[in-house]
Amino acid sequence: MKGILLVNLGSPRSTAVKDVREYLDEFLMDEKVIDYRWFFRALLVQGIILNTRPAKSAEAYKTVWTDEGSPLIVITQKIQKKLQKLVDVPVEIGMRYAQPSIEAGIQKLVDQGVTEIVLFPLYPQYAMSTTETVIEKAEEVRKKKFPGIKINYIQPFYNREIYIDCLAESIREKLPENFDALQFSYHGVPERHIYKTDPTNTCNLNDCCSRENNPSHQFCYRHQCFDVTNSVIKKLGLPKEKVMVTFQSRLGKDKWMEPYTDETLETIGKKGVKNLAIVCPAFVSDCLETLEEISVEGKHQFEHGGGENFHYIPCLNDEDRWIDVVKILCEEKLNEFYLV
């Protein structure tokens, strides 16, 4: 029997500082996220970051937390429920960090008799700190706990036409009538991650990422963010001059991909962008990084820098047109089980 596991990043159990610390410890001690050798990672994460960040992050989580829990988990559950109505195989969810874990999700499927799983990492673009760590974790769990089951992984879908159509339509519906610029703010990654995961050594984080063809594109997060942006603005018929791409949520002292979202928001008002629309297509579901960092903090930064009207465009969340895309991508992979 077949089944589907939808995997998202995960959130703390609650907004209590100790739960946020436990979550950040698991998240940031992942060597695909902070990719230093264990000793230096532990020094940075457990010796420095975990002293102050949990309290600060807990306050931020409190501002977005709902009666049902973390927005990211609640929305992933909504996607699960809607998808379950459309497909005739069991659908469960699992989070890369904290609960419900990937292991718990697989166990639920196995308890229903599933032996072949389609696992869907809910990230449009490939990154070492997202898609790759999900697959690595799921494989570790499968080998240790469920050696008899097969897992088929859905690959990053940033360039799939059904996804681009869906995202473009969703943005089109939510765009305000008047806007001076549309900003695409993607979650950042340290530049080092891009070099590290480029097996072709052909990306130098320059024009190569915008070229139509470069061997590194399959593993280049930067290219994939540009590609989504270009495809969407083409569908929307927007001129490039009205569009910006920036990268948000950096952590630590490393050089992350530029330009930075916060610095851009602080300065564009003075450059004449008074009415701004902003969208975050690295996330399929709204979460702390969109609801707090962009909608609240980002709005302050924009207004502080002379901007006037800030319009946040929500993620795809549980929109029906997005659930249809999830269904199609899952069914393609479910069908591959018949081919082997």
Ligand X SMILES: C=CC1=C(C)c2cc3[nH]c(cc4nc(cc5[nH]c(cc1n2)c(C)c5CCC(=O)O)C(CCC(=O)O)=C4C)c(C)c3C=C
Chosen residue from 80, 101, 130, 295 binding ligand X by CB under 6 A: 130
For residues 82, 108, 158, 264, the Cα torsion angle rounded to the nearest 10 degrees is 90
The site map against Fe ion for 217-246 (x = CB under 5 A) is ---x-xx-----------------------
199 exposure class (CB count in 10 Å sphere: 0-12, 13-18, 19+): exposed
The site map against Fe ion for 195-214 (x = CB under 5 A) is --------x-----x-----
Q: Does 284 bind Fe ion (CB under 5 A)?
A: no
For residues 182 and 278, the answer to whether their CB atoms sit within 8 Å is yes
For residues 30 and 133, the answer to whether their CB atoms sit within 8 Å is yes
**What residues does 3 pair with on adjacent strands?**
117
Where would I find the H helices in the chain? 17-28, 38-44, 50-64, 71-86, 102-111, 133-145, 161-174, 191-196, 221-236, 261-268, 288-291, 299-304, 320-339
Q: How far is the CB of 158 from Fe ion (least distance, A)?
A: 13
Q: Does 325 bind Fe ion (CB under 5 A)?
A: no
Tell me whether residue 26 is annotated as binding: no
Q: How far is the CB of 72 from ligand X (least distance, A)?
A: 4
Q: How far is the CB of 130 from ligand X (least distance, A)?
A: 5
Tell me whether residue 289 is annotated as binding: yes
Alpha-carbon span 290 to 193, nearest angstrom: 22
100 upstream amide cis, omega within 30 of 0:
yes
Q: Does 294 bind Fe ion (CB under 5 A)?
A: no
Q: Does 127 bind ligand X (CB under 6 A)?
A: yes
Q: How far is the CB of 53 from ligand X (least distance, A)?
A: 6
For residues 216 and 223, the answer to whether their CB atoms sit within 8 Å is yes
Size of the site for ligand X (CB under 6 A): 22
Alpha-carbon span 297 to 170, nearest angstrom: 23
Identity of the residue, 287 or 330, whose beta carbon is nearer to ligand X in the bound complex: 287
Chosen residue from 6, 7, 33, 93 binding ligand X by CB under 6 A: 33
CA angle 153, 314, 221 (to 5 degrees): 45
Sheet with 181-187: strands ordered across: 243-248, 181-187, 275-279, 309-313
Q: Which stretch binds ligand X (CB under 6 A): 187-195, 298-306, 317-325, 327-335?
A: 187-195
Q: How many CA atoms lie within 13 A of 192 on its CB side?
A: 9
Identity of the residue, 50 or 151, whose beta carbon is nearer to ligand X in the bound complex: 50
Q: Does 289 bind ligand X (CB under 6 A)?
A: yes
Q: Does 128 bind Fe ion (CB under 5 A)?
A: no
Identity of the residue, 64 or 238, whose beta carbon is nearer to Fe ion in the bound complex: 64
For residues 222 and 127, the answer to whether their CB atoms sit within 8 Å is no
Binding-site ranges for Fe ion (CB under 5 A): 203, 209, 220, 222-223
Binding-site ranges for ligand X (CB under 6 A): 9, 11, 24, 33, 53, 57, 70, 72, 123, 127, 129-130, 187, 189-190, 249, 251, 282-283, 287-289
Q: Which residues are annotated as a binding site for Fe(2+)?
A: 187, 289
